[in-house]
Structure 1
Amino acid sequence: MPTLFFLFLLLSAIFAQQGQSLVKRGSFLTPTTNSSWPSPSGLYAFGFYKQGNGFAVGIFLAGHPQKTVAVWTADRDKPPVPADSKLNFTSDGKLVLQSAQGAETPLASFPDGATSVSMLDTGNFVLLDSDNRTKWQSFDHPTDTFLPTQNLSHGQALYSSISDANRSTGKFQVLMQEDGRLAMYPVGTQNTIEDGYWGEGIDGQKSDVVLQLENNGHLYLINGAGVIIRNMTDGYPTKDVLYRLTIDPDGILRLYSHDMNQTLTTVKWFAPSDDICKPMGLCGDNGYCVLNGQQVGCECLPQFEPVNKEDRSAGCQRNSTVESCKSSKGNFTMEPVLHTVWENKSYSVLKSPSQANCGEACSQDCDCEAALFKDGLCAKHMLPLRFVRKNQTDSTVALIKVKVGTSTPTINTTLPKEPKKKHRSDHIIIISVSLLAFVLVVLAISGIAIYRYRVSAYKKRAYTKMRKGPMVSRNDD
């Protein structure tokens, strides 16, 4: 990118109004030829990009050639489209996705229709009327990414993707709340304090607080009076660098910098920064997050196994059944798991003098699959157990109903599984026996070789003596 990179950003809106980068009615795109409409400097592009076995429609960094960095996706929860699809800016000013059979899906429109569309260097895709006024813009409909000059106001949210390869709506959201706080929650919760796993802001603010990101990576919350109420970053170098804020599939909010000269991507800031296992539900139902250094792994509760070993977020399921509980109550016991809690969705809470009493109450209740015991209270739970997490400072003991006499291994779905001690002992015995056998074979071979050597030497000496005898007798003659 040229050294005047940010000058282009500042002038991009002017260029658009002057007719540069304006796309007129009747234009179209296809995935394989003329696949996108670039911004004036070529930094961003709107159009088709590769996803899975097909193509998605959205906005991506065109100046990052090594990989597709998507920052906005249209109809993200629909499957990728095939290569024979077409994106039409119709004669009546609508932006529609058309299949090979002629079926049309509107992507963006307004009642009077757009006169032109434009991809701006800010990363904003806009539909304009005949006076070049913006009537629709992608900035008002964010997906998982927040860009400089974009505002996130109350009620708006960013939603994570399922994965880097799948841009459909994932499991986490970051929400600009009406109380002026920015907060993160699992998707599908009530967005209460108990549901949240990170937040930023100060009390007493109104709904006019917005999140803003500047071109230098300065990320902050600002109120309606123009007062910055919370700085999350102070800003960074700007030369040939682009910043974006993204809520990633793992539920972590990260500020990325892209060096457009070196196609280098760096994480400058992230939240929550104290524990990357904080995003609740990261490992799905009945599973919980563990750390191995800076790598995240998922483990299952006792007597549970991964639903899908290739997808840690799919959670865990029982590897045995307790359906025979009513006819054989004595066949079950409660296995304790220390410092473990989950979502408070108990169907019954009892006073219990001890952990043993709590376990007994659950084991005799066929509706109870697990219980939480703390401070003399026993909370009974059914499956699934959502938002399971370890907290070493929490004295809660989780009690899991398991069949008597069955093993309850802990299964890690993302990190290499440690072999059991029994397997280690078997391996040691096998290796020891193998080494002993090898030594015996070597000794045997050595013995045979020594024996043959000695026999050969003896025969050689005997032969020499025989030859010397006749030679002496002939000399005597």
Structure 2
Amino acid sequence: MMRETFLLFLLFCSLIESSASKNTIKDHLQRGSSLSVDDSSDVIRSPDNTYTCGFYGFQSNAYWFAIWFTNSKERTAVWTANRNTPVNGRGSKMTFRRNGAMVLTDVDGMVVWETNTTSTDVDRAVLLNTGNLVLQNQKGQILWQSFDYPTDTLLPSQTLTKRKSLISALRRGSFEPGYFVLSYNSINVLILTYDSPETTVLYWPSPDPGFNVWSYGRTSYNSSRIAFFDDFGVFRSSDRWQFNASDMGFGIRRRLTMDYDGNLRIYSLNDSTGLWSISWQAIAQPCNVLGICGRNGICDNGVLQSECSCPPHHQQTNPTDVSQGCTPTFNTTCSNSTKFGFLEMPNTDYYGFDLNSIDAFLPTSFDACKDMCLRNCRCIAFSYRLTGEGLCFIKNALFNGFRSPNFPGSIYLKVPVDMETSESVSVLTSSNATCVEVVTVMLGSPSMYEPSETKVKWVYLYSFAIAIGVAEAFVMLLGWWLFYRKNALLTSLEEGYRMVSSQFRGFTYQELVKATQNFKVEIGRGGSGTVYKGILEDERVVAVKRLGDVSEGGEFWAEVSTIGKINHMNLVRMWGFCSHKRYKLLVYEYVENLSLAHRLFSTTFLQWKERFKVAVGIAKGLAYLHHECLEWVIHCDVKPENILLDESFEAKIADFGLAKLTQRGGQNSEFTRIRGTKGYMAPEWASNLPITAKVDVYSYGVVVLEMARGIRLSNIVVQEGEEEETELMRFLRVAKTKLQGEEMESWIEEIIDSRLGGLFSMKQAAKLVEIGVSCVEEDRNKRPTMDSVVHDLIDCESE
């Protein structure tokens, strides 16, 4: 009995030890070891467990090597190595090589990021309690540290110097660098700037580049340019700028972050809930962040929150990203045939970009200001305000827009005359740069404006005065009603100020029923759903796909919005979506020339020139999905039926991204069931291996070989005395010997589609077959990437 008890005890201890060793978190990384993206527990922790370092993924197949707060609810990241270049969620590694460098490699072995420590005696990588990832030698000296390469966050004990800056994320939930920057300027003062590809503008502590530093309690005489954030919650800078967290004191975990909305904030962590609270921010009024609404956009401090909107006759450039601003729906080119007028936007202004900056503060009449803008082809609007004397600012660009009831002026937007509204009492038009014509729009009947040669018709004046009084009372009541009913406000301003987009948007179910005539004309059917032809109200011809089993609610919206942002000439454009009860529909552009299957396996077959062009187009589209999208997309069902051809026989890949909608079980989950079409599916589907972009490479290989042969390679071939095999397997058996031999040219002539009558390029045909064979290698690591396929095909394209 004692012996049995002892054996059970030993077994129990061994199980505990095994479990503990399996789940041990690394406290450092030695030379020759690595961290893998495939194992979420393969991380480094700081000794006090405050910080974790490893692979961070919040999009389906995009991962970053990052440092984050261990106990924050949202795993808040404070540093990323590969901020611009996420790696694949399968097979990527961070390796501490024996030459002393930490190297981040993608699934295909490509180096994405590395430290510059190959010539040092670095011994180990350690994550300190401060959140600093360091490389040390055997003496403990730091030879490299993440603190020297901040992203958007400064941690306590981390310094900000003249060679460092904090750069915001581009948008919420993104690591991609944005446009808002905290840094030292050339006169040693710490500032916030909006630095986009179009413009750079200072907005804090003052939007004036020549601001008096002394009036803001700063000094420009200290050239050390260093700032420090301590554990007590105090920030100090060499320019004498200092601020404190509202919860000053030790024992609270904090971070200083340059947020995506352009505000600089201190956040404090609640250990019990894992949530963050703002304990200080630089800018109280969001609309004081210049550039926040992008070109032409207007920041409006509404009743509930600040919002971005577009001026009249403008639409959002990107419906999912207001920071990209608005685009005019009219031609702004100045020509002799175009007559321009103005639309007033009350209590609105755009900061900067004044064409008359030298004399802008000289007193100017309203009419003179209008004339200046009309006579200058570069002027697209003018600002006029009365502050005792009239001030005129004519604009050549509209950035940093804001609307406030306290602003004593208006922006007058320059538009073609036919876009003028009846609310404008006076409209100026211009046929050229020197001639000015005044067009008057009358309110009421013409007789009210006719001069009387005898006496004034008082009845008209009294009637007019009463009408004005009634109108004022009505406006006051309407204003009160709109003030407390924001939804009504948005509706009433819909024609003038709503953000309209002809690009990706949500459709109502009724719109799509009407467009498709109650789903009358079916043009395709597949595993993911049925496709119907439709015509929208704006007369665009579209293809509406009614999906089968898809994710629900917010996840569906998140996925389709990501797909909707993908835009490439070799991908079918998605115009929008509809989520109505159990119905999930996607709206695509309509592609005229049907599918590659119709044009390859029928009597109306493609000639060689079109085939090679299609092969290049498919490769470019897949390369874009695999290598250029921020959130990578694996198609999982590349086949001739999913390759559409436009009027010029340009290939457009359809149904990309649908695997995410129909297969996803969770943020980091693998595909839950096999997706694809027999004959085009890579072997790893059946082998239960992790799915990577190489499954698309395999399918592409089958497709291009079918384009060369002109037949379905998935067809079963049975020869006498032999087992069943597919056309593809028989073809590959022969190809692997012929491609290396001297008889390759004659063999190529034999296998190319006989319907072409020998009219094809030998060099292109050989290259296409060679690529196709390499793409269908059983070992996925031997298959090329789509990027390399594109390069190889382009070299032959001019043949």
TM-score if structure 2 supplies the norm length?
0.45
| 1:341 corresponding residue in structure 2 | 349
| 1:315 corresponding residue in structure 2 | 325
Cα displacement string for residues 102-137 of structure 1 (whole angstroms, at most 9, x for unaligned residues): 222333222424221111110111111232211111
Confirm or deny that 1:164 pairs with 2:236: no
Select which of 23, 27, 36 maps to 1:21. Answer: 27
| 2: CA distance, partners of 1:393 / 1:292 | 13
| 1: CA distance, partners of 2:245 / 2:189 | 16
Confirm or deny that 1:87 pairs with 2:94: yes
| 1:31 corresponding residue in structure 2 | 37
| 1:278 corresponding residue in structure 2 | 288
The 1:234–1:177 alpha-carbon spacing in structure 2 relative to 1, beyond 3 Å, is: farther
Confirm or deny that 1:248 pairs with 2:259: yes
| 1: CA distance, partners of 2:230 / 2:207 | 32
The Cα of 1:57 is off from its aligned counterpart by 1.2
| 1:363 corresponding residue in structure 2 | 374
Q: Residue type matched to 2:291 in 1?
A: G
| 2: CA distance, partners of 1:421 / 1:46 | 49
Cα displacement string for residues 334-388 of structure 1 (whole angstroms, at most 9, x for unaligned residues): 12334443343344567884222322342354433222345566444334x2222
| 2: CA distance, partners of 1:310 / 1:357 | 40
| 1: CA distance, partners of 2:338 / 2:184 | 52
Q: Pick which of 245-254 and 290-299 moved more.
A: 290-299
Confirm or deny that 1:98 pairs with 2:105: yes
The 1:391–1:174 alpha-carbon spacing in structure 2 relative to 1, beyond 3 Å, is: farther
Q: Are the aligned partners of 1:55 and 1:83 in contact in 2 as well (CA < 8 Å)?
A: no
| Bigger RCO of structures 1 and 2 (CA < 8 A, at least 6 apart) | 1
| 1: CA distance, partners of 2:266 / 2:148 | 20
The Cα of 1:186 is off from its aligned counterpart by 0.7
Q: Are the aligned partners of 2:349 and 2:411 in contact in 1 as well (CA < 8 Å)?
A: yes
Q: Are the aligned partners of 1:288 and 1:390 in contact in 2 as well (CA < 8 Å)?
A: yes
Structure with bigger strand share is: 1
Select which of 197, 202, 207 maps to 2:218. Answer: 202
Q: Are the aligned partners of 2:87 and 2:106 in contact in 1 as well (CA < 8 Å)?
A: no
Q: Pick which of 162-171 and 242-251 moved more.
A: 162-171
Confirm or deny that 1:266 pairs with 2:277: yes
Q: Are the aligned partners of 1:26 and 1:89 in contact in 2 as well (CA < 8 Å)?
A: yes
Q: Residue type matched to 1:264 in 2?
A: L
Q: Are the aligned partners of 2:301 and 2:403 in contact in 1 as well (CA < 8 Å)?
A: no
Select which of 111, 129, 136 maps to 2:137. Answer: 129
The 1:389–1:195 alpha-carbon spacing in structure 2 relative to 1, beyond 3 Å, is: farther
The Cα of 1:310 is off from its aligned counterpart by 2.0
The 1:328–1:218 alpha-carbon spacing in structure 2 relative to 1, beyond 3 Å, is: closer
| 2: CA distance, partners of 1:172 / 1:291 | 20
| 1:419 corresponding residue in structure 2 | 491
| 1:448 corresponding residue in structure 2 | none
| 2: CA distance, partners of 1:203 / 1:134 | 33
Q: Are the aligned partners of 1:219 and 1:235 in contact in 2 as well (CA < 8 Å)?
A: no
Select which of 218, 223, 242 maps to 1:230. Answer: 242
The 1:278–1:149 alpha-carbon spacing in structure 2 relative to 1, beyond 3 Å, is: same
| 1: CA distance, partners of 2:221 / 2:414 | 47
Confirm or deny that 1:215 pairs with 2:231: yes
- Which structure 1 segments of 5+ residues have no match? 1-19, 410-414, 424-477
Q: Residue type matched to 2:492 in 1?
A: K
| 2: CA distance, partners of 1:26 / 1:111 | 13
Q: Residue type matched to 1:381 in 2?
A: K
What is the 5 A alignment of 1:56-205? 56-64=64-72, 66-113=73-120, 114-177=122-185, 179-188=187-196, 189=200, 191=202, 194=207, 201-205=217-221
Select which of 329, 338, 344 maps to 1:328. Answer: 338
Q: Pick which of 191-200 and 205-214 moved more.
A: 191-200
SS in 2 for 1:357: helix
The Cα of 1:179 is off from its aligned counterpart by 4.3
Q: Are the aligned partners of 1:326 and 1:366 in contact in 2 as well (CA < 8 Å)?
A: no
The 1:187–1:93 alpha-carbon spacing in structure 2 relative to 1, beyond 3 Å, is: same
**Number of residue pairs aligned between Structure 1 and Structure 2:** 389
| 1: CA distance, partners of 2:345 / 2:295 | 16
Which protein shows a greater Rg? 1
The Cα of 1:81 is off from its aligned counterpart by 3.4
The 1:26–1:77 alpha-carbon spacing in structure 2 relative to 1, beyond 3 Å, is: same
SS in 2 for 1:84: coil
The 1:191–1:81 alpha-carbon spacing in structure 2 relative to 1, beyond 3 Å, is: farther
| 1: CA distance, partners of 2:494 / 2:395 | 34
Q: Residue type matched to 2:399 in 1?
A: R
Q: Pick which of 112-121 and 352-361 moved more.
A: 352-361
| 1:434 corresponding residue in structure 2 | none
The Cα of 1:55 is off from its aligned counterpart by 0.7
| 1: CA distance, partners of 2:217 / 2:320 | 37
Cα displacement string for residues 390-430 of structure 1 (whole angstroms, at most 9, x for unaligned residues): 46665454221123343679xxxxx967112899xxxxxxx
The Cα of 1:187 is off from its aligned counterpart by 1.7
Cα displacement string for residues 295-344 of structure 1 (whole angstroms, at most 9, x for unaligned residues): 22002223222112221111001122244742132xx2112334443343
- Which structure 2 segments of 5+ residues have no match? 1-25, 424-485, 496-799
Identity across matched positions, percent: 26
| 1:42 corresponding residue in structure 2 | 49
Select which of 403, 414, 430 maps to 2:416. Answer: 403
The Cα of 1:169 is off from its aligned counterpart by 1.0
TM-score if structure 1 supplies the norm length?
0.73
Q: Are the aligned partners of 1:184 and 1:197 in contact in 2 as well (CA < 8 Å)?
A: no
| 1: CA distance, partners of 2:104 / 2:115 | 10
| Aligned CA-pair RMSD | 3.2
Q: Are the aligned partners of 1:201 and 1:230 in contact in 2 as well (CA < 8 Å)?
A: no
Q: Are the aligned partners of 1:186 and 1:196 in contact in 2 as well (CA < 8 Å)?
A: no
The Cα of 1:285 is off from its aligned counterpart by 0.2
The 1:40–1:187 alpha-carbon spacing in structure 2 relative to 1, beyond 3 Å, is: same
SS in 2 for 1:363: helix
Q: Are the aligned partners of 1:280 and 1:387 in contact in 2 as well (CA < 8 Å)?
A: yes
